[in-house]
Amino acid sequence: PVVLSRNSAIAVFFKARKFYESALELESGYLGAVLSLADLHVIEGRNGDAISLLQRYLKNWADDSLHTKLAQVFAASNMLTEALSHYEEAL
């Protein structure tokens, strides 16, 4: 496995975030970029940002993958009632 220094990891995350944000500017409905950006937020410990992003997209795209990802983020944030609600929506 490749081990990055903290500064290198931060630089990689920054570039990835900019890539996903640019992809969404070009194609706002690209759910793959939304899901990946949400994952990146969680990796960075920014669960609130991931939740906000996913909730914003759920207003326009009622997609099972968005509900599933949001449920996972809620569960990781120990918001179990909200997680269960979105898991049920995904079904």
Q: How many CB atoms lie within 10 A of CB 70?
A: 25
Give pLDDT, residue 7.
81
C-alpha 18, offset from chain centre: 14
Write down all domains in the chain, each with its CATH number in brackets.
6-90 (1.25.40.10)
Tens-digit pLDDT string for the chain (91 aa) = 777 788 888 888 889 999 999 999 999 999 999 999 999 999 999 999 999 999 999 999 989 999 999 999 999 999 999 999 999 999 8
Would you state the pLDDT for residue 46? 96
Which residues are CB-neighbours of 3 under 8 A, at least 6 positions away? none
Q: How high is the pLDDT of residue 1?
A: 74
pLDDT of the residue at 18:
95
Two structure tokens written together for 66 = 């968005």
Distance between CA atoms of residues 37 and 21, nearest Å: 8
What predicted TM-score, i.e. pTM, was given to this entire model?
0.87
Write the single-letter amino acid at 24: L
**Burial classification of residue 21, based on how many CB atoms lie within 10 Å of its CB (0-12 exposed, 13-18 middle, 19 or more buried):** exposed
